[in-house]
Amino acid sequence: MAKFKPGVFSLALGVAAALLLVAIKWLGAPAESAAVVPLPQHLSTQRGHFRLGAATRLEVEPTSQSAAELLARRLRIATGFALPVLSQRSSGVEDAGILLTSKGAHQDLGPEGYELEVTPGQVRIRATGEAGFFYATQTLLELLPARMFSVHAVVPGPWLMPCVRVEDRPRFTWRGAMLDVSRHFFTVDEVKKFLDVMALHKLNVFHWHLTDDQGWRIEIKKYPRLTQVGAWRKRIGFNLDPKSSTAYGPDARYGGFYTQDQVREIVAYAQERHITVLPEIEMPGHSSAALAAYPQFSCSGGPYTTDMSEAVSAGVYCAGKDATFTFLEDVLTEVRQLFPGEFIHIGGDEVPRHNWHNCPLCQARIKQEGLANERDLESYFVRRIETFLNAHNRRVIGWSEIRNDQLAPSTAVMDWIGGGTEAAQAGHDVVMCPEEYCYLDFYQSLDRSREPTAAGAYLPLSKAYAFEPVPANLGAAARPRILGAQGNLWTEYIPSASQLEYMAFPRLSALSEVFWSPKPSRNWRDFARRLSVHEQRLKQLDVNFRPEAKPP
């Protein structure tokens, strides 16, 4: 047997290391240099780089124009380059450019899919529609160095992208994030920043929880008291430090609201980023703010208040008065005109039905409609609103509790405490957001002393990443009914935008991958590697994320 010779061994090791270095250089960018979140369906890294420079041109056709213009605007902030966006016919094909074309795009990419090929001479994006072009540009940005996401000033290059071939399309069509602006108010600019970060994660539904017991946040012209009274409370509440928020009016009341012009501005801003805004108007429960303004639509006639420090029961509309339905239909008429999406969310969770038990008008309604009890009255309430919205070509979506045997076939259920499987089996579309995986108001650590006060439970990043939206007990035939899923940000304990970002990221980054990427590609270690790069992007974007990844 040959004797072990340390000199020969270290020589061999040295040669091997040198060969490896040469191989890496020869093969071009190592696979590690592409750290896209959410992970694309297929991504392979090739040799070499594309260098973005002041002379790079963007070549477009009408369907890719808007994505290219947004990209050019974004690139300009960090690079200082004013890249021209030119229609394909007017520019030479040989230019070292970024081409966004539908020519040769596979039809099976679907409306949101894209192909992206980066070679040293050209970046070629193919898609069949506007959303696909937009998502390609989000991936392209993530191929550039993280400092590309600088929001402040021009920073030094070089701007190299590794050569890659990407073929990508989402797993689910509903990839959402819910923001509760009732418990605490967030400004238009804060909402826009949230939308920007959503778009980077290829999320496409912004569920805007606009009304609840503690605040009504959307201007309704026909009922001005909703915002004059319902948008404000005496103090911050929830035992929070009054200084933890800046949402105070000139009279020191706490709260705020969006004018209809501001709502339109946000809807348009979201639309440009391929995000549908889903408005939620809570009913019949969670309605104290509306009832503080218009107590006549409650059973008792009030008083109600938005101020949690006073002992008033949670609000519920009176289901016995026709005037209640006229009021809600008027509100929904204005809401419908502001939001172009297919769905309107009508809440429906946690209805305090005991009020109805003691109300003569509700009891008369039960009798007159041949209903068995208050649970049936709740279904009647949903059905009446459903009929109204369906007649105006809108579909209804509501929380778990709205599920009953008589739901309109087009109504969708948002599962937070179960019922998703049953609803899907009964033929309803379903969006999954079970509390234990999707509630971003839960603690991120078991060491609560080092965390801001949060809702009681615990949802670590790794658990969010392990979420599976399709319920295990759902038969294959009903699986397509699961439209997708979303992360929910309830804000009882989140009084500022920076804390909102701390709770949302990176757990929403993990969820975005659950919603977008193929299930078999889910790999925690690989995600953790990409997250260390992604966190640098979030940092550049001034997002106050909770650091989770080890430095690269």
Q: Which residues are catalytic?
A: 212, 286, 350
Nearer to ligand TNX, 69 or 435 (CB): 435
Exactly one of 105, 377, 455, 538 binds ligand TNX (CB under 6 A); which one?
Answer: 455
Instruction: Select from 45, 109, 36, 99 the least CA-distant residue to 71.
Output: 99
Taking the CA atoms of 68, 69, 74 and 75 in sequence, report the sign of the dihedral they define: positive
Do 344 and 331 touch, CB atoms closer than 8 A?
A: no
Choosing from 330, 349, 376, 436, the residue that interacts with ligand TNX (CB under 6 A) is: 349
185 touches ligand TNX by CB under 6 A: no
Helices (H), 144-297: 188-200, 225-228, 260-272, 288-293
Check residue 416 for interaction with ligand TNX (CB under 6 A).
Answer: yes
Kindly state the helix (H) or strand (E) to which residue 123 belongs, with its residue range. Answer: strand 123-126
Question: What does the block give as tokens for 339?
Answer: 């939001």
Nearest approach, Cβ of 441 to ligand TNX (angstroms)?
A: 5
Nearer to ligand TNX, 212 or 548 (CB): 212
- Cα–Cα distance, 86 to 94 (Å, whole number): 14
Nearer to ligand TNX among residue 130 and residue 492 (C-beta) = 492
Site mask, ligand TNX, residues 24-63, x = CB under 6 A? ----------------------------------------
Taking the C-alpha atoms of residue 77 and residue 540, their distance in angstroms, rounded to an integer, is 12
Does residue number 399 form part of the binding site for ligand TNX (CB under 6 A)?
yes
CB of 440 to ligand TNX, least distance (A): 10
| Nearest-approach distance from CB 458 to ligand TNX, in angstroms | 13
Give the nearer residue to ligand TNX in terms of CB position, either 413 or 455. 455
Regarding 381 and contact with ligand TNX (CB under 6 A), the answer is no
Question: Which residue in 439, 443, 516, 527 binds ligand TNX (CB under 6 A)?
Answer: 439
265 near ligand TNX, rule: CB under 6 A:
no
Residue 199 Cα distances to 101, 286, 300, 415, 417, angstroms: 21, 30, 45, 24, 27
Q: Least distance in Å: CB of 416 to ligand TNX?
A: 5
Report CA dihedral (283, 289, 291, 294) to the nearest 10 degrees: -120
State the nearest-atom distance from the C-beta of 490 to ligand TNX, in Å: 3
Closer residue to ligand TNX, CB minimum distance, 329 or 436: 436
Question: Token digits for 296?
Answer: 């006549």
Cα–Cα distance measured from residue 337 to residue 333, given in angstroms and rounded to the nearest whole number: 6
Q: By CB under 6 A, name the one of 168, 441, 513, 535 that touches ligand TNX.
A: 441
Query: CB-wise, 208 or 490, nearer to ligand TNX?
Result: 490
Comparing CB distances to ligand TNX, the nearer of 145 and 347 is 347
Q: In Å, how far are 230, 244, 395, 444, 445 from 239, measured between CA atoms?
A: 20, 11, 38, 20, 21
Give whichever of 39 and 494 is closer to ligand TNX, judged by the CB atom: 494
How many residues bind ligand TNX (CB under 6 A)? The answer is: 9
Smallest separation, CB 455 to ligand TNX (Å): 4
Strand order in the sheet with 85-87: 42-52, 159-168, 114-118, 123-126, 97-101, 57-60, 85-87
For the window 489-528, what string marks contact with ligand TNX as x by the rule CB under 6 A? Answer: -x-x------------------------------------
**How far is 145 from 133, CA to CA, in rounded Å?**
21
Taking CB under 6 A as the rule, does residue 378 contact ligand TNX?
A: no
Interface with ligand TNX includes 436 (CB under 6 A)? Answer: no
**Contact criterion met (CB below 8 Å) for 378 and 406:** no
- Give the bridge partners for 164, in sequence order: 45
134 interacts with ligand TNX by CB under 6 A? no
In whole angstroms, the minimum distance from the beta carbon of 73 to ligand TNX comes to 36
CA dist., res. 398 & res. 411, Å (int) = 8
* 216 is a site residue for ligand TNX (CB under 6 A): no
Tokens of 456: 């009681």
Please give the residue ranges that form the binding site for ligand TNX (CB under 6 A). 349-350, 399, 416, 439, 441, 455, 490, 492
